[in-house]
Structure 1
Amino acid sequence: MQAQTGSSPAADDIAKAEDAIPTRMHALLERAPMSIAFTRDQHFQVVSEHLNHLFGHGDHTDLSGQPTRVVHVSDGAHSALMERLQASFAAGRPVDEEIEYVRADGGRFWGRLQATPVRWDAPAGEAMWIIEDVTAARQLRMQPTWIGKHDPLTELANRAEFERRLAEHVGSRRHEPVSVLWLDVDKFREVVNATGAEVAEHFLYHLSQMLITKVRASDIVARLEDDRFAILLPDCDQHYAQIIAEKMRASVAGFRLRWGLHRTRVKACLGVVQLHPSLENVDAVMGAAAQACAEAKAAGGDTVRVFVSTAVMEV
């Protein structure tokens, strides 16, 4: 009896899937609206069409195969970046920073570089770079008016700007309800101790960007200090503010930070307060929100508490 030869249908499917990977990768690099490059030994190996265009290359020129030095403003700047990449990758951390780059025609721009090894078990091998033109955003952040109103780490409104916006509503004769949320991350000091200050700062940045997605364009999200945030909700009464707070609490609990080899998650407490005539000034409103949040902390964390004014209870 002659033995059967040839591969099984399952093996054929696996082989077809593997053969399709290069085709899919080529399509991704050509069509995805992202500037991506794969580098090795200080050379660009494969470059997306968008990255080529970002650096002023087109149909007749290509960064693929060229030294990574050609997009940097000087030998020193390039060498310093290579040292930072090597140190960060060896420590299990990606690189995320803004760098001044040079285009093919000599023009310069500021780009946000997000770089990570393709394989964390081989940090000195191939790396993936994602570059975004942040020139306009950087120029905006350099304006004194922006600096005075924003937190430099998270780019959210700072406490002074939040309180200024809140003051526009305190004592207002307008009849629309206004609420404030106070958010305090639970046990954030443990995250700092476990992962280090750099990873913790990245966590706060990405957490803040997530919080923005949970509110309306008319709402204000601010970083007050450390791991404490506040949210101003115009035209929002206590009932709906509590619903928003519960959604934010659940979103924080479900949020995961993946930063290189580091993984972390946290929970948060929120205090809710609706503006009322008994809260006569900004300090009173902020104090009420903080008090409600403290009560949530005392209840064990990962919860929401609502401040109820004694003046309201007596009515």
Structure 2
Amino acid sequence: MDADSLGLQFGVLGLVAGVGGLAFGFMVRQLHALASALERHASAEQTAQALLKQMHSILTTAPVGIAFTRFRRFEIISTRWAGMMGYSEAELLAMPTHQLFADVTSYETLGPKVAQAFADRRVFSEEFEFRRKDGSSFWGRLQGSPVDEDDASSGTTWILMDVTHERDARERLSWMATHDALTGLLNRAAFETMVANRLKHRPMSLPAALLYIDIDHFKSINDTHGHAAGDQVLIGVADILRAGVRSSDTVARLGGDEFAVLLMGCDGAAAARIAEQIRQNVESKIFTFDQDTRQAAVSLGVAEFDEWTVDVPTAMQAADVALYKAKKSGRNKVRTSGFSDLDETSSSGQGAGDGLGLEGLENI
């Protein structure tokens, strides 16, 4: 032991002897307390380091995006979040959060919605379209919760999941529920819903008219050329119907070879002219089946809405009556009927359209 160490020991002993036994005990207790505090600090530091490692592991490997924001800026970004956006973590930390949204308007509506969700003590969750660094976009479900519910300045923890495929699947299912798979037109149920909505808004929705279209001798096309040929004719007629009306009109395939069109802002005369043009367009189209060519023809019925059209079945029955008239008069024709004709049809005991006049449409 060197002289300096020996001197320090004698100095400490002398100090202890000088302060007395009571003071010495106090000093020992303080030293123990200090040692315990240092031990707890070391343990807390070790715990903090372990938590940081765990957090880093989560931010690196989590299959969803995780971020922490304050005052519309990112403070922590996970690897997955950065990957979804196509940016580096450093780039994201340097940019405002709104730059990631495809639509600025959507971003501006985010704040009030988040504030309301947090005020209701619930997790915010909604789907938004996001813009990647390369300009492409994807749909993500954004979920957020406050770090401290009682302190808005504490920031928000976010989770982001790419739901593009899930959203596409939902849209496909929704589309399939309302559309005909072969032609892409609305199906009967969706069309009847559309007609019902127009009836509810009368008289503002008037004038309006319905067209019923039926492909003449469609069964013979299937029997002679096969169902693939029949499908080709159905698709061709659907394309002609789409091209022959305005974007504000509605075209549907009701089933089989039957179609319908809802014409808005058209009285009966205008609807009859549109129907005649459609008839001519179908008649002039040439279909080719295995090197064999064939023309198709359609019969069309026209019924104009009026103030007494009370429901969808009545409206569609009137158009069906007109279609029956076109069929009975030799097919490949356009015929009309008014809703007053329905009483005559019912009282006659005959099929729809029996005994009804042709309203002089032969020259249309």
Alpha-carbon spacing, 1:140–1:293, altered in 2? closer, same or farther (3 Å): farther
Query: How far did 1:277 drift?
Result: 2.7
Whichever of the two has the greater Rg, that structure is 2
| Partner Cα separation in structure 2 for residue 165 and residue 309 of structure 1 | 19
Query: How far did 1:262 drift?
Result: 3.5
User: Equivalent residue for 1:168?
Assistant: 197
Query: How far did 1:264 drift?
Result: 2.1
| Partner Cα separation in structure 1 for residue 184 and residue 323 of structure 2 | 23
User: Equivalent residue for 2:127?
Assistant: none
* Structure 2: gaps spanning 5 or more residues: 1-164, 344-364
- How do 1:153-192 and structure 2 match up within 5 A? 153-175=182-204, 176-192=206-222
Point out the structure with the larger helix share: 2
Letter in 2 for 1:196: G
User: Equivalent residue for 2:87?
Assistant: none
**Could you list the per-position Cα deviations for residues 86-124 of structure 1 after superposition, in whole angstroms to 9, with x for gaps in the alignment?**
xxxxxxxxxxxxxxxxxxxxxxxxxxxxxxxxxxxxxxx
| Partner Cα separation in structure 2 for residue 222 and residue 248 of structure 1 | 15
**Could you list the per-position Cα deviations for residues 182-213 of structure 1 after superposition, in whole angstroms to 9, with x for gaps in the alignment?**
00111111111110011211221122112211
SS in 2 for 1:164: helix
| Partner Cα separation in structure 1 for residue 169 and residue 252 of structure 2 | 18
- How do 1:7-18 and structure 2 match up within 5 A? none
- The answer to whether the aligner puts 1:245 opposite 2:245 as a matched pair is no
Alpha-carbon spacing, 1:147–1:274, altered in 2? closer, same or farther (3 Å): same
Q: TM-score, normalised by structure 2?
A: 0.46
Identity %: 32
SS in 2 for 1:236: coil
- How do 1:231-310 and structure 2 match up within 5 A? 231-310=261-340
| 8 Å Cα contact 2:240/2:278 also seen in 1 | no
Question: Which has the bigger relative contact order, CA under 8 A and spacing at least 6?
Answer: 1
The count of aligned residue pairs is: 176
Alpha-carbon spacing, 1:202–1:277, altered in 2? closer, same or farther (3 Å): same
| Partner Cα separation in structure 2 for residue 310 and residue 206 of structure 1 | 34
| Partner Cα separation in structure 2 for residue 290 and residue 242 of structure 1 | 14
Residue 143 of structure 1, aligned match among 172, 175, 198: 172
* Structure 1: gaps spanning 5 or more residues: 1-135
- Could you list the structure 1 runs, at least 4 aligned residues long, displaced by more than 6 angstroms after superposition: none
Alpha-carbon spacing, 1:229–1:193, altered in 2? closer, same or farther (3 Å): same
Letter in 2 for 1:239: A
Residue 238 of structure 2, aligned match among 193, 201, 208: 208
| 8 Å Cα contact 1:272/1:289 also seen in 2 | yes
| Partner Cα separation in structure 1 for residue 234 and residue 323 of structure 2 | 19
- The answer to whether the aligner puts 1:217 opposite 2:217 as a matched pair is no
CA RMSD of aligned residues (A): 2.3
Query: How far did 1:142 drift?
Result: 6.4
User: Equivalent residue for 1:14?
Assistant: none
Alpha-carbon spacing, 1:312–1:154, altered in 2? closer, same or farther (3 Å): closer
Letter in 2 for 1:237: D
**Could you list the per-position Cα deviations for residues 193-249 of structure 1 after superposition, in whole angstroms to 9, with x for gaps in the alignment?**
110011211221122112211110111110001111000001111110010011011
